[in-house]
Structure 1
Amino acid sequence: MKQFASLYARVDESTKTTVKVAALADYLGTASDTDRLWTIALFTGRRPKRVISTTKLRLWAAEVACLSDWLFDESYHIVGDLAETISLVLPEPSDPQDHSLIHWIETLAHLSTLDDDARKAGILAAWDTLAPDQRFLFTKLLTGGFRVGVSAKLMTRALAQVTGQDVAALTHKLMGNWTPQTTTWEALIEADDPMADLSRPYPFYLAHSVDDPADLGDPPGWHAERKWDGIRGQFITRGGEHHIWSRGEDLMTDRFPELAQLADYLPEGTVIDGEILAFANDMPLSFNALQKRIGRKTVPKNLLAEAPVILMAYDLLEQDGTDIRDTPFEDRRTALKTLLADVPPEAPIRLSQEVPFDTWDKLAAERETSRDHNAEGLMIKRRASPYLAGRKRGDWWKWKIDPLSIDAVMIYAQSGSGRRANLFTDYTFAVWNGNELTPFTKAYSGLTDAEFRQITAWVRKNTQNKFGPVRQVTPHHVFEIAFEGIQASPRHKSGVALRFPRMLRWRHDKPASEANTLDDLKEMLANYG
């Protein structure tokens, strides 16, 4: 665990990618196969399930540290992270030991089988053998909250240094439905066949935003289509089975049972990249309709009827078992069009239609109609481009429409977590309903650190009431809140809920009395909900 803790510290303490990659390469070149396999899993989001509730950990840690509950909670509030608080307040270990990472992973698995008394004894014994930095990581693993600032891209770069393999091949190997319990270092990394796992998707190609597509050159070399507002996914047919993967490497096959019939129409060895959309009457529904199905392992019949889905297909990555990502986009799209020509029209799949244009001004006019199509804007793709892995600049661009926005008054503030634990960064906003302010959303991003520090100083001087960590403040400051969508919500006092709210700017020029109203929100709901 000492070696793993050292790796974590090196990665966490630096913002330089070269330092992070060097730390990973040093570790992966010397650790045991089981430890480095688990390290890859942990650093790419494959965390063990939570073993114990945070409430019990707080009580047990306070007991061991001989702290009253309120003092522990105050310490937690200042530090902003439970595992870090525990690592700081507990006494030094009386029996320090240095076990491997896999030892502690197996300890977690054993603890999960015990009753509370035995589990408590096991956790306290573990804390008493671990140095503070190792205790911090062990507690993170206990809570299922282990996260680290390393992207899969950096992991594959480090692996490429250690193994001498191609980064793109390693990126593909790390995708799919694997866990450290179902594979080995040899099978996952050293094996030559990246298709050993027939469910494995390809790394998704991600686009950069463009402000002025005229900078891209002459229109004839570019293809445009709608940027659909759904869930990015790959549909895979291999080995007599089908699989659906999200961009976040979430296996979603069972969540969209109506797409299973596509396996009857598509040949073996087919991988299609596209967007899963709620779809009815030959028209995409709003994302709000699809959102009702997100996160459900099984979908009830009423939701299947209310929000049926299709795959809006826009790229073909594998044809007859052959990886065709290196062929030009225009050729891949022609092959996709030919493939879908034989699929009956009632099947839940559509080809994402090209938006024709011969000038960028004409494409700009098409972009303005995006909300009429329940789209987020346009995708612009170089016709000659291969299908790359990750966010590569140059060939694929997204040209989104401007977000919706509304001016609102800040009425509550709450401190952040981690490095922002001593700043008030999480705010509740309200709009006018007659002479009263009605809360309607929360936001915590969009401002600079300097602005957060300025607001924090103001909050401390203008707090009217305290509700635990939340401060009610004088209704004075106005912020422009940007959001991607709006929907009706009976759970909220305002009757609406926003999609991806964030602070667009601090309106120093506007007094609270001139903020928007609840009627303005309801008008937006009528137009865009």
Structure 2
Amino acid sequence: MRRFADLYAALDRTGATSAKRDAIAAYLHDAPPTDAAWAVYVLGGGKLRRLASVTELRQATGEATGYPDWLIEESYAHVGDLAEAIALLLPSENGPFDDVPLHAWMEQRLPALARLDPPARVAQLEAWWRVLPAEEIFLLNKLITGALRVGVSRRLVVQALAVWSQLPTDLIAHRLSGDWTPGAASLAALAQPAGDDAHREHRPYPFFLASPLEAPVESLGERRQWLAEWKWDGIRAQLMRRDDEARLWSRGEERLDGRFPEIEQAARALPPGCVLDGEILAWDDLAAAPRPFTALQKRIGKLKPGPKLLAETPVRFMAYDLLELDGADLRETPLRERRERLARLLQDVPPALTLSLAADAHDWETLAQLREQSRLRRTEGLMLKRLDSPYRVGRRRGDWWKWKVDPYTLDAVLIYAQSGHGRRAGLFTDYTFGVWDRGHLVPVAKAYSGLDDAEIARLDAWIRAHTIERFGPVRSVEPQHVFELAYEAIQRSGRHKSGVAVRFPRILRWRTDLSIADADRLDDLRRMAEA
């Protein structure tokens, strides 16, 4: 694992995208294939589950160092990253050190750790820490906690694989999609010459993502060159009809088999060899409109929903693109033609499959007026897609734009703070905000983004000087500061103390002009949730 630890350290030291890409590509050239495959999986966002609890890690640290619990807790709070704090606290060893291959850790040692009972797991952690250098202890702890953040995106891994294999990034992205299993054979398959990939039958296409429209809409040119669609708030997915089966893949490349059986059943009316891109929506048949995303959440966690849930929360697949037909890849075909074929394809299928209709407006001014109806239509705004555009990979600016309506806002008081992770470890950057309810501040939202570095530093210093209580890594602070928060929707919620849940909260600005008495009231938010 030493070679991978060196790579991880190199990635952690630089913020330059090209340097990270080149470091990964160099590692792929030099590392044994099985280790390289696991590095691709881990760095590319492969799922890592937590293998030891925080309590077990702290206990093992205490037994290995002799330090009291309070010192370990304070060190964690100061560093902001448990894996790093442990590596710093453990005594330095002079070796000799074990150098077990990365694949042996991932395939044998770590799965075996998960099967131990807590006392044996604590003992095993101590034993491993004694024979590893500090940088490998840090990496091992990251793997154990399932929090391997190092500023590397899946797209960056794809670019490094493209450099290593001398193949186009789009081809690598497709080969890496879906249930990619790390191994020497899987890595070799990524580097095969471009051709008709047999394994394509079981993989989704990489998703094309839109960028926020920040310039005036008129800057896009002639209105007739663009398709305008409503922007749906659901689960982005691809529906595949192949080999007499219907498969649903989420944007996170997770198989959704069995969770939405009405969509899978309706897909059997499609011809074999087709792939649709669209959105899964909870649907209100009476209103002929989508229900809020919170209704869809009832279905997400159910691997096999029962008859009652199917009846209470019906769903539809709102299709807006056709990526494959009769087994032929249509992604390079202009959107205008893809959409015409999609409309014909969906003419005689069950209502669980629906064509996403265009927003009909002959000029930008009329379209802007139509966009104002977004919330009445239970949408987030509009999507603007160039009619002659291909279906690209990832977030390529220029052809697809999301033109969302302005978010809702509320003024809330900072009441709790917690240290961040990664680059912001050691700084208080995760905040909880409250509003007034009968003379008390009740938490209603957590937000992690929206402040610049200078504001974060100023607020961090203030939090440290005005802490009232500590609850593990969380601090309650004096209620003095008001922030304007943006959010997309608000719903009643029995799971929250406030009785409401806001969707996608983030900080718009620090309202230094307001006193805490000016913050919003919970009754107002409840009325909004009802409305």
Coarse TM-score class (shorter-chain normalised): over 0.9
**2:487 touches 2:504 (CA, 8 Å); kept in 1?**
yes
Q: Which moved more, 1:132-141 or 1:96-105?
A: 96-105
Structure-1 separation of matches of 2:470 and 2:97: 42
Q: Which moved more, 1:384-393 or 1:79-88?
A: 79-88
**2:230 touches 2:382 (CA, 8 Å); kept in 1?**
yes
Counting matched residue pairs gives 525
Q: What is the aligned partner in structure 1 of residue 206 from structure 2?
A: 203
Are 1:110 and 2:116 counterparts? no
Gaps of 5+ in 2: none
1:394 maps to a residue whose letter is: G
Structure-1 separation of matches of 2:521 and 2:141: 46
The structural deviation recorded for 1:501 is 0.9
Q: What are the superposed Cα offsets for residues 492-522 of structure 1, whole Å, 9 maximum, x if unpaired? A: 2321111111111111122222222222212
Q: Which moved more, 1:185-194 or 1:8-17?
A: 185-194
Are 1:460 and 2:464 counterparts? yes
Structure-2 separation of matches of 1:97 and 1:464: 46
Q: What are the superposed Cα offsets for residues 181-234 of structure 1, whole Å, 9 maximum, x if unpaired? A: 696322344375434152200010001111321110010111101000101000
Gaps of 5+ in 1: none
Q: What are the superposed Cα offsets for residues 121-174 of structure 1, whole Å, 9 maximum, x if unpaired? A: 433332222111111111222222223321222212211122111111111000
2:207 maps to a residue whose letter is: F
Q: What is the aligned partner in structure 1 of residue 298 from structure 2?
A: 292
Q: What is the aligned partner in structure 1 of residue 130 from structure 2?
A: 128
Are 1:393 and 2:402 counterparts? no
1:152 maps to a residue whose letter is: R
The structural deviation recorded for 1:306 is 1.7
Counterparts of 1:7-26 in structure 2, within 5 Å, are 7-26=7-26
Structure-2 separation of matches of 1:291 and 1:188: 35
TM-score normalised to structure 2 length: 0.94
Q: What is the aligned partner in structure 2 of residue 231 from structure 1?
A: 235
Q: What is the aligned partner in structure 1 of residue 330 from structure 2?
A: 324
Are 1:496 and 2:500 counterparts? yes
2:445 maps to a residue whose letter is: T
Q: What is the aligned partner in structure 1 of residue 46 from structure 2?
A: 46
The percentage of aligned residue pairs carrying the same residue is: 50
TM superposition outliers: structure 1 runs of 4+ over 6 Å: none
**1:317 touches 1:324 (CA, 8 Å); kept in 2?**
yes
**2:150 touches 2:422 (CA, 8 Å); kept in 1?**
no
The structural deviation recorded for 1:434 is 4.1
Q: Which moved more, 1:27-36 or 1:444-453?
A: 444-453
Structure-2 separation of matches of 1:88 and 1:195: 48
Structure-2 separation of matches of 1:114 and 1:459: 40
Structure-1 separation of matches of 2:60 and 2:73: 12
1:506–1:330 distance in 2 versus 1, CA, 3 Å: same
**1:45 touches 1:147 (CA, 8 Å); kept in 2?**
no
Structure-2 separation of matches of 1:181 and 1:163: 16
Q: What are the superposed Cα offsets for residues 335-372 of structure 1, whole Å, 9 maximum, x if unpaired? A: 0011111214xx31100001112211111111110011
Match of 1:252 among 250, 253, 256: 256
**1:95 touches 1:128 (CA, 8 Å); kept in 2?**
no
**2:343 touches 2:355 (CA, 8 Å); kept in 1?**
yes
Q: What are the superposed Cα offsets for residues 33-83 of structure 1, whole Å, 9 maximum, x if unpaired? A: 101111111111224433322311210122111212221121111111111
Structure-1 separation of matches of 2:365 and 2:376: 19
**1:77 touches 1:421 (CA, 8 Å); kept in 2?**
no
Q: What is the aligned partner in structure 1 of residue 181 from structure 2?
A: 179
**RMSD of the TM alignment (CA)?**
1.9
1:242–1:78 distance in 2 versus 1, CA, 3 Å: same
TM-score normalised to structure 1 length: 0.94
Q: Which moved more, 1:335-344 or 1:110-119?
A: 110-119
Structure-2 separation of matches of 1:515 and 1:120: 47
